[in-house]
Amino acid sequence: MGGAVSAGEDNDELIDNLKEAQYIRTELVEQAFRAIDRADYYLEEFKDNAYKDLAWKHGNIHLSAPCIYSEVMEALDLQPGLSFLNLGSGTGYLSSMVGLILGPFGVNHGVELHSDVIEYAKQKLDFFIKTSDSFDKFEFCEPSFVIGNCLEISPDCTQYDRVYCGAGVQKEHEDYMKNLLKVGGILVMPLEEKLTKITRIGPSAWETKKILAVSFAPLIQPNHSDSGKSRLVHLPPVAVRSLQDLARIAIRGTIKKIIHQETMSKNGNGLKNPPRFKRRRVRRRRMETIVFLDKEVFASRISNPSDDNNNSEDTEDERREEEETKPSELKPDPPVNFLREKVLSLPLPDPLKYYLLYYREK
C-alpha cells in the first residue's frame, strides 16, 4: 500500500513530497515526521527503500507507507497531554512520532502481538533517545509496549483520548474498538477497506468519516484452543511523574526558553532556519555555428580536435564543473544542538548534566 508520492533522497525530501501532496497539513505533524528518520526503523540491508512511499515488511517487522502514517497522524488530531493507544504498535515508529506531540504529561501505550517486534521497537526507541539531536527539541512522551492480542485487552482497562489500530478491523469488532475511547476521543482504523475516523461525541453517540481506501492485513483472531492461563492483555498503569522527572522537565524547559530569547535577540525577529535549496541540474549545450556563404546558409558545429574522441570525457568535465560551481550557500551547515551545548556549559556535576540530557551518548 502506498506509492501516492514520489520517492525522496532523504527523510526531509520525503516529508516535502508528503506536504506537497497534502498528506501532511499541520505544523505539529510535520515537525514529528522530520524529527524521526524513517530509515532508522529499517534493517540495514533494506534502507535504500526507506524514503519511498511504500509499505515494508520483513518477517514480523512491518511499516505502513508514509502517506498512510501521515493521514493517520492528521486524523488523530493530537494535542499535548492526551492519552494514546496504538493497537499493533510494531516497530514503534508511529508511537514515537505521536510521543513527540503528546509531551511529558501524555500517555503513550502500545500493544503488539509478536515479542521479537517489541524487542526491535525497544531497540529503536533507545537508539532515538540516545543518538538523535532532534530529540532535544521536544519533551517526549516515551511509549510503553506490552505483548498480546489487541482483541483481548482487559475489560477494566482505562479508556483513551486517541486510539489507532494498524490492522484491518472486521465489522464484528467495531464496537469493541469504540469502547476503548473516552467521550470526545478519536479512533482511527482500517474498517471495511477504508481508513476510518470515528469520534465519540457522547456515551452512545458516534461520528464516522471515511478518509481513504486502504488495504491492510486483518487482525489476527485470538486462539482459544488451549484454555490454560488467562490471555487478557493488561495495559501499563498511568504512572505519576516522579519529582526528579518533573525537575528535569522544568530545567530543560527553562534552558530552552533562555536559548529562544538569546536567538531572538541575536536575530532580531527570530527568523526560522532558511529553507532547504535543491540544485537544478544544468546541462551544457554545444554551440551551433551559422555560416553565410554566397547567399547560402550552412549550419555546422565547430569542434575541437579532441571532440570526436573525448565525448565521454566531456560528460565527466561537465559533472566536475557543476560540482565546482555549486554555490557554497547551498551546502547547509549541520544542525547545532543548542540545548546540549548549553547544558554541557553549565557549572554542574557531570552526572547531573547527563541526567538532563537523558544519558545521551553523542
* Tens-place pLDDT, residues 25-79: 999 999 999 999 999 999 999 999 999 999 999 999 999 999 999 999 999 999 9
Residue 361 in this model has a pLDDT that exceeds 70: no
Helix runs in 162-209, H state only: 174-178
Residue 326 in this model has a pLDDT that exceeds 70: no
Label residue 102 by pLDDT band (50, 70, 90): very high
**Greater pLDDT, 230 or 338:** 338
Q: What is the pLDDT of residues 248-259, one digit of tens each?
A: 999 999 999 999
CA 15: distance to chain centroid?
A: 9
Report the DSSP pairing between strands 205-213 and 194-202: antiparallel
Q: What is the pLDDT of residues 259-272, one digit of tens each?
A: 989 888 887 654 44
Top CATH class of 11-222+231-239 equals alpha beta
Secondary structure class of 312 (helix, strand, coil): helix
Kindly tell me the sign of the dihedral angle through the C-alpha atoms of 305, 307, 310, 315: positive
What is the C-alpha to C-alpha distance for residues 263 and 136, in angstroms, rounded to an integer? Answer: 16
* 243-256 residues labelled b (16+ CB within 10 A) or e (exposed): eeeeebeebbeebb
**pTM for the full predicted model:** 0.79
Is 132 labeled as catalytic in the residue annotation?
A: no
Residue 229 in this model has a pLDDT that exceeds 80: no
For residue 291 the three cell numbers come to 555560416
The predicted pLDDT at position 219 comes to 94
The predicted pLDDT at position 227 comes to 55
Report DSSP state, residue 169: B
What is the C-alpha to C-alpha distance for residues 190 and 185, in angstroms, rounded to an integer? Answer: 17
Contacts of 255 (CB under 8 A, 6+ apart): 339, 342, 343
Label residue 285 by pLDDT band (50, 70, 90): very low
Name the nearest CA neighbour of 108 among 238, 253, 244.
238
Which of 64, 89, 96, 132 does the annotation list as catalytic? 64
- Decide: 179 and 87 in contact? Cβ < 8 Å: no
The predicted pLDDT at position 288 comes to 43
What is the C-alpha to C-alpha distance for residues 273 and 136, in angstroms, rounded to an integer? Answer: 17
Residue 325 in this model has a pLDDT that exceeds 90: no
- Decide: 110 and 86 in contact? Cβ < 8 Å: yes
What type of residue sits at position 353? K
- Decide: 209 and 196 in contact? Cβ < 8 Å: yes
For residue 110 the three cell numbers come to 502500545
Contacts of 34 (CB under 8 A, 6+ apart): 11, 12, 15, 134
Residue 294 in this model has a pLDDT that exceeds 70: no
What is the C-alpha to C-alpha distance for residues 48 and 61, in angstroms, rounded to an integer? Answer: 17
The predicted pLDDT at position 113 comes to 96
For residue 9 the three cell numbers come to 533522497
In the predicted model, what is the mean pLDDT of residues 130-150?
91
Label residue 282 by pLDDT band (50, 70, 90): very low
- Residue where the block lists cell 521479537: 116
What type of residue sits at position 350? D
Label residue 133 by pLDDT band (50, 70, 90): confident
Label residue 135 by pLDDT band (50, 70, 90): confident
The predicted pLDDT at position 313 comes to 56
Long-range contacts of 181-186 (CB under 8 A, 24+ apart): 182/83, 185/159, 185/160, 185/161, 186/75, 186/76, 186/77, 186/161, 186/162
CA 206: distance to chain centroid?
A: 29
Mean pLDDT over each residue of the chain, to the nearest integer: 84
Domain boundaries for CATH 3.40.50.150 within the chain: 11-222+231-239
What is the C-alpha to C-alpha distance for residues 189 and 211, in angstroms, rounded to an integer? Answer: 10
